[in-house]
Amino acid sequence: MNGCRDGSNTVTKRYYPQGMQIGTTNYYYTKDHLGSNRFYDPDLGRWISRDPIGETGGINLYRYAANDPLKYTDPSGLEIFPNGVPSPTPLRSGRSPWTIYDEALKDAQAKFSRQELWNGPGDAYRHCLASCMMAREDGSAVASLFGWANEKSGDWRHNQEEGERAMDDFNNAYGRRCANGSNSTQDCQQKCMNAVTSRNLMTYISGTSLGYWDR
């Protein structure tokens, strides 16, 4: 611990490895998933810095673990899990996210019609499968960050419609949850196909919402 002292050698502010003291309140910070510091107030039980991934984590940019840390934990800052239920252990397969993404795309193309691959059930299956495989092999944090970056690229480069972005974000998150208990790619395929047939994944009708740059 380091500190600042006044002329009488009285400590006026304390700095800890994990944060600092302002007045009588201790503020903690962490290196979040994008590498920047976020301050956390333990008295409020919430972040006092905005989430750098914006609304991808929800419309409340300051909450932690769905505002229920007694029930949930958020070890990566990207995905909440019930306390006592560990996040999937990544295999660290060494495969790049793009390799996994391409494998999921080929699998979807083999199972769905061309029309279904654009905002339909094939598109939903592809996002679910890619996220499940990526979370299983490289960890939920990597899968979440890659999914966010891919969708943000669609926003900026292709003026992606809001409804399509919401669909992809939902199906990506569903796929990451499917990684829990999945021991193989086949497990991810089965879970995501079951989600399609039971209509637990989202689809979208093109042209029913504004594009990213049209807002």
Specify whether 160 is located in the same domain as 194.
yes
Specify whether 78 is located in the same domain as 151.
no
Give the span between the Cα atoms of 123 and 53, in whole angstroms.
23
Specify whether 126 is located in the same domain as 190.
yes
Specify whether 106 is located in the same domain as 208.
yes
Specify whether 64 is located in the same domain as 131.
no
Specify whether 68 is located in the same domain as 102.
no
Structure confidence by residue, pLDDT tens digits, 118-136: 999 999 999 999 999 999 9
Overall number of domains in the chain: 2
Give the span between the Cα atoms of 182 and 201, in whole angstroms.
18
Domain boundary among 82, 116, 145: 82
Specify whether 122 is located in the same domain as 188.
yes
Specify whether 77 is located in the same domain as 102.
no
- The yes-or-no verdict on residue 32 having pLDDT over 50 is no
Do the Cβ atoms of 75 and 90 come closer than 8 Å?
Answer: no
- In this prediction, residue 149 has a pLDDT band, given cuts at 50, 70 and 90, of confident
- The yes-or-no verdict on residue 49 having pLDDT over 70 is no
Structure confidence by residue, pLDDT tens digits, 179-190: 999 999 999 999
Specify whether 109 is located in the same domain as 197.
yes
| Domain carrying residue 62 | 2-82
Which region among 91-100, 194-203, 204-213 has the lowest average model confidence (pLDDT)? 91-100
Specify whether 121 is located in the same domain as 166.
yes
90 falls within a domain: no
Specify whether 44 is located in the same domain as 113.
no
